[in-house]
Amino acid sequence: MDDSEAPAPVEPTPARAGRSRRLAFAEQELRLISSLVLLIGLGLFFALPFVLSIGAVVFLPLVTALVLTVILSPLADKLNGWGLPNAIASLVALLIFFAVLLLALALILQPAVALFDDVPAMANQVMDRFGELQRQFAWVAQINEQLAELMNREGGREVVLASPSLLEELAFATPGVVLETVLTLLMAYFMIEARVRLRQRLLFGRASFGTSIKAARVLREVQERVAAYILTVGWINALVGVVVALGAWALGVDAPIMWGGLAALLNFLPYIGPIVMVTLLGLFGIGTADTILLGMVPAIAYLALHTVEANVVTPSILGARFTMNPVMILIALSYFSWIWGVFGALLSVPILLMLTALFDHVGRPNLVGFIFGEPLFASEIFGGDETEESS
């Protein structure tokens, strides 16, 4: 075929060129908006702990009440379906939770108070056991002393700071704890009682019917996921507590019910709770047993039980729907523990579940792709334009 017969190149039409310019401008605009959102999000992430920590008296009861609302709303719905009025169903659901919490604390605190008198003797025995270990490894201390002499290091002065006693700390902390508890329960009750009106407002208060359905679906998904997770994990931890109590009774450990309740509560803290439980059992065993090896038996038995529960039982029951990244769990634990201490650690997993369910519907930010030039959030604007262009 001659060159003269070759088809001439197609010149871009003004409409196609204008559409390409609009597409490029829209992409740059989305990139700029994504950059601003990312910077604002990072700023909030690092500034929020200081705000929440300073205002813990206000924000901690509010967040706790919100988590309790998400957890107890299904129970209130069930009670309401059985014929109870909404206000009474909300109050009964909150009272059931409070009664279970008091029962768990009673199972732990009552035997702990009975064992409180034995703590000095157990502490002395633990010190004796570690003294025996120190004497067995005295050669290590001698090497350290020789190295210190060679490096001309002088022993530092020991400074002892006076601190308030445990009773004084409890006396100062009790009024604040009681006030925050009352505020949390009151806010939780009114939030649970207002759940029906909130659902109606989400369904009928939006201009778009699709937006109303999506908002209601997000609310239901967050509620169901968090409530199902807490309920399932609660049953698993209760069974763990029963097994630990029976094992402590079989091994002759004092106050087996206390150890079972403590194991059940600490198991709500992923990774951190079992480590604390192993440490407590190890110290208690060493402080009461005749030898260190016998004293470590309860801790080793609990560690074996937790290994089976965490790697076999819990994953098989919860399934992939509740599987979370361990790194995200540890970040949430450290983040909220830094803000609110132990209460923040207990709230970290429910908050992480709520955020995960929310991002599943709204869309997760594409942080890795954003670094390489992709939009921060997925958008179908460009796909629609390309489809129209190809057609």
In order, the DSSP letters of 26-55 are: HHHHHHHHHHHHHHHHHHHHHHHHHHHHHT
The answer to whether position 338 is within a domain reads: yes
Q: 66 in a domain, yes or no?
A: yes
Within a domain: 152: no
**Spatial distance between the Cα atoms of 13 and 23, rounded to a whole number of angstroms:** 15
Catalogue the long-range contacts made by 212-215 (C-beta closer than 8 Å, 24 or more residues apart).
Answer: 214/361
Instruction: Report the chain's terminal Cα–Cα distance, integer Å.
Output: 31
Rounded CA-CA distance 353/347 in Å is 10
Tell me if 357 is assigned to some domain.
Answer: yes
Domain count along the chain:
1
Place of tokens 């759940």: 195
**What's the domain range around 199?**
22-41+56-129+177-385
pLDDT at position 73 is 86
pLDDT of residue 387: 40
Whether 256 is in a domain gets the answer yes
Dihedral, 173, 175, 179, 180 alpha carbons, nearest 10? 0
Q: What is the pLDDT of residue 84?
A: 86
Give which of 215, 199, 230 is closest to 86, Cα–Cα.
199
Closest Cα to residue 270, out of 222, 223, 318? Answer: 318
Per the domain annotation, does 144 fall within a domain?
Answer: no
pLDDT beneath 50: ranges in the chain: 1, 153-156, 158-161, 165-171, 379-391
The reply to whether 286 falls in a domain is yes
